Structure 1
């Protein structure tokens, strides 16, 4: 078991970050890869968000604690957020599991603390504030893990971090005000509110169509598609039959009551929707479904490929990458999406499916002052401790390793700052590669201009 002070080491940085990014872009829609890089080039922080493969590579060159269980794999501070449970309670939790896989618990903690330093530098909060945020993450994770170590496993599984609990833990009136505002915003983020923004009723009938807004949203077989003519998806003779087959396979992964619920909805349209930073170029679709009362349901279909954690940390082989994401999410979250399931595409690609928007939102980091970011850091540490305690059932082992002193926090402050320095160096290499033509980067605005008349 590695001594806690050795967590200062940032790992194996003898690599080419551009080559790793190219590796992670393989298999994506070719015309969208420049958009991925265009979103990443905005700042070292967006670069960090889109380059999970690089840190996974680097962490593989470090010694680990020996405590292994399901981890998030891409645990940066923007991958936490609020969402509604099937019972309509509003929770705060980890909300991105594309890279989930068995791994050392500290890989999640290290990505999280590094993200706070990278973000603090980007938002110009200063080095002292950045160090304080890291300490808040680590001390919260340590103290909450000690609490979970004393709880029965059933109590750990039942534990939920609701917004009401966040209010109880916020003594600052301004922080309480922000939490209440977030709750109000979440309540407005419904399928019905999204329908007039993304869809239009065709003619005088009841049929709805998703609006094209390339490069972010477009129909795969439409006039504004970004798919190459020789793409295998465009060679399918009967796409409707394929969609029906994939949807049937997906519903088979749901509980019977949820299959019954979905049976009340009819598919009206499907389109490609570019999401996030790291996922740009992977095959991500949205399905617009309408029930018998004309009420909408948007489902998101996301491609799942091999986890960056699994690329660099030996774990059992996975038969279906979509199921890997679903199983990891169900294991780590306090409650998961009502319609979370998986399916396989016509050419062997793996997908998972969930609701596109159901009271889901992420924090506006650029609007947070240092006081609010410190509170957010404590909450993220708490959330991650709960997720790890539930996923592994090893809270006592992790808590024993962490101890009660600040030794692990001291080590991770050094790690986070050193790794943020490395991110900035990698970012400069990435920018130079884009300028030299080794990589092509295009912004959303640049690509949208291609479709203007």
Structure 2
């Protein structure tokens, strides 16, 4: 082909894709999220660091693309799974569960919704490829990391379907963990309960309160009053009505938390210090996180489910119940409240919460070990979410439907998804280049 024609084709492709990116960003960030310009710029600056950070902050672009593609392994529309909705490498981490055990699991449920299980696998697989590129992996090793994830998922979901493992009790704890995940849990064993409390609070005349930093600031009088007014709604959601429980949840201090994740920029977040116990100088106080939440991104692209929305019209309740459904040991502080027309969920800010840093993954074996662990946890999450079949949320067992959709040829399933994911990672890198170019153009105009 004439080089000039080739160049014209490439320019046209880029021009059309750039228009798509611009339209989607404007629709979601400006119109739906109603992010003011400064917040959009803050979000886009975070997204511009790497293709992976761009991918993390643009879930709506991912769903726009994949919901228009045909895949042979979807479950039927009338047999959706309760999905996490924004599954990627950095939405896994270690924390302490309700029983006090250290576990490694999924730790973000803001985008929880009903849809094909495959969307979680697709998004996670792309993120593995992008992380592999950050680590300088070859094409073959990227495929290997994704296939390790998918093989582990497939084997574990089949074990759940056959009743060999129970998703209600399955956990990656110190006994079951391996490789870098086990090292992370061992490291956290040495951390004291007060670690996070001492990090974000200070004693002022024997009273504990939040310590001001760049990320933790005092609320305005209006913000404080609104949260205090809404607190009874939260207490109702956790069924706290006895005198001892009300003392436990007594608010000692409130702070505004800045420095949120990429996708959460523009959503309000508070830290609330509660009494929790009678230890001197508030040594047993607990920090709760109150986070604003909106309609999940997948909802704009998945089939509408009337029963789901009837049950989870409050977005804070949706996130809370998603976490409870997917974790066998749920945070006892999970609840929700509303401030005006904004909806929030509440959870404990665990002193043991820690993510596995990419720098800690030093070898190919480390990455394979971690992705396999993530695969098993994804299977647990999907199988675990239907334990309340009797309540009518899902009237069937997801793991059974997923195994049917995957078919018997496990290798073919894993190879198909892995090759697609690496190909889509190429698209993400192309989009990232267009995005950073678009972003620089916006700066010149301002």
TM-score exceeds 0.5: yes
- Select the structure with the greater relative contact order (CA < 8 A; seq sep ≥ 6): 1
Q: Distance between the aligned counterparts of 2:118 and 2:440, measured in 1?
A: 35
Please state if 1:302 is matched with 2:291.
yes
Query: Alpha-carbon deviation of 1:118?
Result: 0.9
C-alpha RMSD of the superposition: 2.6
Query: Alpha-carbon deviation of 1:123?
Result: 1.7
Q: Distance between the aligned counterparts of 1:341 and 1:303, measured in 2?
A: 12
CA gap of 1:249–1:417, structure 2 versus 1, over 3 A, is same
Q: Is the 8 A contact 2:235 2:241 kept in 1?
A: no
1:148-159 to structure 2, matched below 5 A, reads 148-151=160-163, 155-159=166-170
1:435 counterpart SS class:
helix
Q: Distance between the aligned counterparts of 1:189 and 1:433, measured in 2?
A: 44
1:428-439 to structure 2, matched below 5 A, reads 428-437=433-442
Query: Alpha-carbon deviation of 1:312?
Result: 0.8
Alignment equivalent of 1:275, drawn from 260, 266, 269: 260
Q: Distance between the aligned counterparts of 1:137 and 1:187, measured in 2?
A: 27
Q: Distance between the aligned counterparts of 1:416 and 1:165, measured in 2?
A: 28
Q: Distance between the aligned counterparts of 2:52 and 2:445, measured in 1?
A: 19
Q: Distance between the aligned counterparts of 2:245 and 2:414, measured in 1?
A: 47
Gaps of 5+ in 1: 1-11, 168-174, 222-233, 442-453
Task: Find the counterpart in structure 1 of residue 390 from structure 2.
Answer: none
Please state if 1:32 is matched with 2:67.
no
Q: Distance between the aligned counterparts of 2:167 and 2:379, measured in 1?
A: 10
CA gap of 1:183–1:161, structure 2 versus 1, over 3 A, is closer
Q: Is the 8 A contact 2:128 2:145 kept in 1?
A: yes
Task: Find the counterpart in structure 2 of residue 413 from structure 1.
Answer: 418
Q: Is the 8 A contact 2:335 2:347 kept in 1?
A: yes
1:22-61 to structure 2, matched below 5 A, reads 22-25=26-29, 26-28=33-35, 30-61=37-68
Please state if 1:186 is matched with 2:188.
yes
Task: Find the counterpart in structure 2 of residue 444 from structure 1.
Answer: none
Q: Distance between the aligned counterparts of 1:207 and 1:148, measured in 2?
A: 46
CA gap of 1:15–1:116, structure 2 versus 1, over 3 A, is farther
Q: Distance between the aligned counterparts of 2:93 and 2:445, measured in 1?
A: 31
Task: Find the counterpart in structure 2 of residue 210 from structure 1.
Answer: 211
Alignment equivalent of 2:145, drawn from 101, 126, 133: 133
1:376-395 to structure 2, matched below 5 A, reads 376-392=370-386, 393-395=397-399
Q: Distance between the aligned counterparts of 2:304 and 2:174, measured in 1?
A: 35
CA gap of 1:332–1:209, structure 2 versus 1, over 3 A, is closer
Query: Alpha-carbon deviation of 1:261?
Result: 4.5
Q: Distance between the aligned counterparts of 1:439 and 1:387, measured in 2?
A: 45
Alignment equivalent of 1:82, drawn from 89, 94, 102: 94
Q: Deviations over 1:300-343 (max 9, x none)?
A: 11111011110111233341111111111111122221201111
Q: Deviations over 1:20-78 (max 9, x none)?
A: 23333233465333222121111001111111111111121123331412100001111
Instruction: Provide the aligned length of Structure 1 versus Structure 2.
Output: 401
Please state if 1:344 is matched with 2:343.
no
CA gap of 1:187–1:396, structure 2 versus 1, over 3 A, is same
1:427 counterpart SS class:
helix
Please state if 1:251 is matched with 2:235.
yes
Q: With structure 1 as the length reference, what TM-score do the two structures score?
A: 0.82
- Higher mean C-alpha deviation, range 352-361 or range 92-101: 352-361
1:166-245 to structure 2, matched below 5 A, reads 166-167=177-178, 175=179, 178-187=180-189, 192-202=194-204, 204-213=205-214, 216-221=215-220, 236=222, 239-245=223-229
Task: Find the counterpart in structure 2 of residue 357 from structure 1.
Answer: 350
- Higher mean C-alpha deviation, range 414-423 or range 431-440: 431-440
- Higher mean C-alpha deviation, range 115-124 or range 315-324: 315-324
Q: With structure 2 as the length reference, what TM-score do the two structures score?
A: 0.83
Gaps of 5+ in 2: 1-15, 387-396
CA gap of 1:398–1:207, structure 2 versus 1, over 3 A, is closer
CA gap of 1:149–1:259, structure 2 versus 1, over 3 A, is farther
Q: Deviations over 1:382-439 (max 9, x none)?
A: 0011111122422122113323421111111221011101111111121012111169
Q: Is the 8 A contact 2:316 2:336 kept in 1?
A: yes
Q: Distance between the aligned counterparts of 1:189 and 1:260, measured in 2?
A: 29
